[in-house]
Amino acid sequence: MSYPTLEEIKEFLGITTPDDDDYLTMARAAVIDALENYCQRKFELLADVDHWMNVEFAQDFFLARYPMVSVEAVIANGSTLDAGSYKFHAGEGKLALNRVITGDLEVQYTGGFDPVPPTINWVIYHAVRDAYGSKDVSGTAGAVKSERVDGVATLTYFEESSDTGGGGGASDAAPIIAVYASSLDPYMSDKAVGAMF
């Protein structure tokens, strides 16, 4: 199981026409980009390439897509390293060289989850649903703030606040996933810093 497809998202939302396919495709991509940036890792099982440039005296490198399945090539300063000159620790996405390097490093590898954790896909479905539900609301930052019926009542549905209410690192999450940040926190990597996504 990979990330939800456009068709799976449409089925989840009960949409049967292609009228909003472009919007849903854009929202899906934005949600996936936001959650991968927030977690500092990629989740789908795919072949990938991570690059580090101008490193100084480095030996350990943490890849963006893990758990790792295989390492196809490690290239340091333009030269392919022998498989005996490094070890990879699949679960944590760590590539450990037998010696320090200075310069550039490229790692060609396969990694990620198969299947993608259910929580990650749940966030994608629900964040796309939220974006879709607010697409035609204008002037209210995507949510109805209040409704007033003269002489009867005023109802407030949403109040702006500096606290997103997501807990954990919610203030660091993009607005499109901020309310789901606490669900994503267990999947965050503090190690993928420096890998170019």
Q: Give 144 or 16, the one with higher predicted confidence.
A: 16
pLDDT band of 172, cuts 50, 70, 90: confident
**Domain residue ranges in the chain:** 6-42+114-187, 46-111
What's the pTM?
Answer: 0.76
Say whether pLDDT at 175 is over 50: yes
Q: Give 166 or 156, the one with higher predicted confidence.
A: 156
pLDDT band of 189, cuts 50, 70, 90: confident
- Separation of alpha carbons 83 and 64, rounded Å: 20
Single out the residue of 119, 24, 100 nearest to residue 59, CA to CA.
100
Q: What is the mean pLDDT of residues 71-76?
A: 97
Note the pLDDT of residue 149: 66
Say whether pLDDT at 36 is over 80: yes
* Residue percentage of the chain with pLDDT more than 90: 73
Average model confidence (pLDDT) across the chain: 84
- Separation of alpha carbons 120 and 39, rounded Å: 10
Rounded (to 5) percent helix, strand, coil in the chain: 30, 30, 35
Contacts of 42 (CB under 8 A, 6+ apart): 36, 48, 64, 65, 111, 112, 197
What are the tokens at 177?
A: 């996933």
Say whether pLDDT at 194 is over 50: no
- Could you read off the pLDDT of 88-112 as tens digits, one per residue? 999 989 999 999 999 999 999 999 9
Note the pLDDT of residue 160: 41
